[in-house]
Amino acid sequence: MAKNSKTLAKVRLNPVNLLIIILASIFSAEAFITLILSLVSPSLTSRYMFLDAGMLAIILFPVIYYLVIKPFSSHIDELKRSEEALRASEERYRSIVETTDDSIYLVDRNYRFLYMNRKHMARMGFSGEAYVGRCFSEFHSDEETRDFIEKVDTVFERARSGQYEHRSERDNQYFLRTFSPVNGPDGKVAAVSVVSKKIPQSKASGGREKN
């Protein structure tokens, strides 16, 4: 039932269908009014015109209200509810990302930082958004950079996630890094998100890949 109601609303909001319905309503209403007034012999032409306009307005008002105003208003309300739900969801997600003990960051196709959560900013020594547009290679060794580029390129090519163990030269600790695709409006991979979770050295497997 709900599905049928949504379908009907979409049909009513279609401009071509609305135009056809309104024109048909005006033609039918005018024909009906002309028929009624043909039975009446108004003494003045102006009185006939006002009566014709008044009856046309009375007949067309419910048609326009139920087929145009009400569906459009409902559509606007639905958009507002969707935006509020999306905003609330984004705030919850951001709260989780910013309070987690894992490092989370986002890079583009050129391996430049687009986003970092607080944890990773603290590890890297950044404040504010000073990291935006900076390349991964600026802060890591050539070996780490080559390994990182290989992982990021794989995500862009295959459009799927991958997990890899990694020993950070900066922290001298082991991390499990998850590389995941982030799609753009066109559905293609526009960036890669990296979630880096610290693991005890006793559980590390020396950089073995986990796909």
Q: Return the number of other C-beta atoms located less than 10 Å from residue 61's C-beta.
A: 11
Q: What are the CA-CA distances from residue 6 to residues 3, 28, 63 (Å)? A: 5, 28, 19
pLDDT for position 92: 77
Which position has the higher pLDDT, 125 or 66? Answer: 125
Flag whether pLDDT at 13 surpasses 60: no
Interval 136-162: pLDDT, tens: 999 999 999 999 999 999 999 999 999
Interval 91-131: pLDDT, tens: 777 777 787 889 999 999 999 999 999 999 998 888 888 89
Mean pLDDT of 47-63: 67
Mean pLDDT of 17-30: 70
Q: Which of these, 133, 147, 146, lies nearest to 175 by C-alpha position?
A: 147
Instruction: Kindly indicate whether the domain formed by 101-210 is annotated with CATH number 3.30.450.20.
Output: yes
Q: What are the CA-CA distances from residue 198 to residues 53, 57, 72, 104, 166 (Å)? A: 77, 71, 51, 12, 9
How far is 72 from 75, CA to CA, in rounded Å?
5
Which position has the higher pLDDT, 135 or 168? Answer: 135
Phi, psi of 46 (to 5 degrees): -60, -40
Q: For all residues of the chain together, what is the average pLDDT?
A: 79
Flag whether pLDDT at 89 surpasses 80: no
Mean pLDDT of 161-182: 91
How far is 149 from 140, CA to CA, in rounded Å?
12
Please name every residue paired with 179 in a beta bridge, in sequence order, or none if there are none: 162, 194
Q: What single DSSP character describes residue 203?
A: G
- At residue 108, the 3 state secondary structure works out as coil
Q: Which of these, 71, 58, 74, 83, lies nearest to 15 by C-alpha position?
A: 71
- Domain ranges, ordered by start, for the chain: 2-96, 101-210
pLDDT for position 74: 79
